[in-house]
Amino acid sequence: MSAPAAGDPRPDRTVDVVVVGHDEAALAVVDELRRRGAEVVLADDRQVQVWAVTPLEEGDPGSAGDRDPAGMVVDLAVDGLPADVIGCRAVVSALSEYGTVPLVPGGEHAGEPGEPLDDDVLLVGGHLGATEDALRHGTPREVWLPFGRAALLGHLLRAPALLRVGALPAVRLLALLRRRGVRVRFGTALAAIERAGDALRAHPRGAGVDDPLTVRRVIVADSRIPPSELARSVGARSAWDAVLGGWVVANDAALLPVVAAGAAAGVRGPAGLAAHGVLVADEIATLIGLDGGPAPGRRTALGRAVRRGRQLARWQAGIAGRTPLPDAGTGADTVVCPCEGVTLGDLEAIVPLLPDPPTPRDVKTVTRAGMGLCQGRRCAAAVTAWAQRCGRVSTDVLDAGLRPRLPLTPLVLRAPAQPRGHEADADRLVKRQEP
């Protein structure tokens, strides 16, 4: 495998399906498709960046014309460098739900997901997976949770019997935080953040106001990074589902065959993820003409597990208090776009400049909200909600004008003199799944 020459549109190789992700849903899709004879590539999103999914080009690139029905091309990169270009007939997005993105307004990105943490960290949000991950890598100074202690207990009691087991990790994590001596502030959200020399000063909103915390890094684990980037990037609609508390992808027959699996489709829990993976694999197998789907009895069981996975997602959304919208009555210093440091007050201030009613796109263009490192993944819903309050009704992010764009993850510019010795790494990281 070699990095293709600049501008070369041809894939290095062609397989049936590329699966992006690493969780139970991703693995289940791969296993099921392999069992049925498909050639599948699993791109582990923790190490391989997917930076483009584009239709296979037919004829002269750039000319107006129909798409090649043969499929699409997936560009993979390692450490920002082109690594592998794979042609395929379908893509499965099984991306995980959160990203540990350090929060630095208007400045440089302070670290990479998965990097070991030092102890001088504030963790904001209530996402279980992200908290677990942070505790594996270090011990945060404080954890701010948006829900109150009573609300958490209430949710635990109200959890459906089937889901009680899903509540255990939350209880276990709280106990672990206490054992490690981490201060947990309940009912506390992030109001504003500012630079303080080399450090960051985070100001809380809610309980314990006027008690800011100065740390080196702030990690946002509030699940506002939608897991559905891959599907959105090729035009699939993706909308915040308040009931589900997650981003939900709606596939459209007119779109490229990009299918969301697992968390990307609003399913949680190992059993639900795996079951959803098998059902998605079956959908794709039908699409590309493979025989031998799951027997009717097994399909029913899978469907049941997926339903439980969706319930779990809804319940988790409840305890995390995940809402993408600035609450009514919040102050002017409420951060709407953390990357660019845009506050609710900034939005109110630009009203005279905007057409009436404004679109989210107007807000983005004028304030830079959504133009930072996360490219609107964290603020799109809040910007949309604000514009909606000003009169526009669409809650569909795509319609609202904050269009997802390539690359899916930031891509490093590299001068050509630098060695491009990543092919071997890429070979190792992009596992080939031969039938």
Binding site for another protein (CB under 8 A): 6-9, 52, 54-55, 57, 61-64, 73, 75, 80, 82, 106-109, 352-355, 359, 361-362, 365-366, 368, 371-373, 375, 401, 403, 405-407, 410-418
* Pairing verdict, β 199-206 and 188-196: antiparallel
Minimum distance from CB of 214 to another protein (Å)?
23
Minimum distance from CB of 367 to another protein (Å)?
9
- CB-nearer residue toward another protein: 161 or 417: 417
Minimum distance from CB of 415 to another protein (Å)?
4
128 with 173: CB under 8 angstroms? yes
- CB-nearer residue toward another protein: 1 or 354: 354
Angle between the N-to-C axes of helices 164-179 and 149-158, in degrees from 0 to 180, rounded to the nearest 10: 150
Give SS3 for 361: helix
Tokens 């054992």 found at:
179
* Cβ atoms < 10 Å from Cβ of 151: 16
- CB-nearer residue toward another protein: 324 or 401: 401
- CB-nearer residue toward another protein: 157 or 253: 253
- CB-nearer residue toward another protein: 7 or 297: 7
Contacts of 309 (CB under 8 A, 6+ apart): 267, 268, 269, 271, 272, 273, 275, 276
Minimum distance from CB of 194 to another protein (Å)?
17
Minimum distance from CB of 72 to another protein (Å)?
10
- CB-nearer residue toward another protein: 56 or 124: 56
Please confirm whether the linkage preceding 357 is cis (ω < 30° from 0): yes
Among 371, 378, 261, CA closest to 309 = 261
Minimum distance from CB of 337 to another protein (Å)?
13
Number of C-alpha atoms within 13 angstroms, CB side, residue 420?
18
Minimum distance from CB of 365 to another protein (Å)?
5
- CB-nearer residue toward another protein: 109 or 158: 109
Contacts of 240 (CB under 8 A, 6+ apart): 226, 246, 247, 248, 324, 381, 395, 397
Element (H or E) spanning 318, and its range? helix 296-320
Among 322, 298, 149, CA closest to 221 = 322
- CB-nearer residue toward another protein: 133 or 362: 362
- CB-nearer residue toward another protein: 252 or 327: 252
Minimum distance from CB of 110 to another protein (Å)?
12
DSSP label of 64: S
Minimum distance from CB of 410 to another protein (Å)?
4
b/e map 300-331, b = 16+ CB within 10 Å: eebeebbebbbbbbbbbbbbbbbbbbbeeebe
204 with 144: CB under 8 angstroms? yes
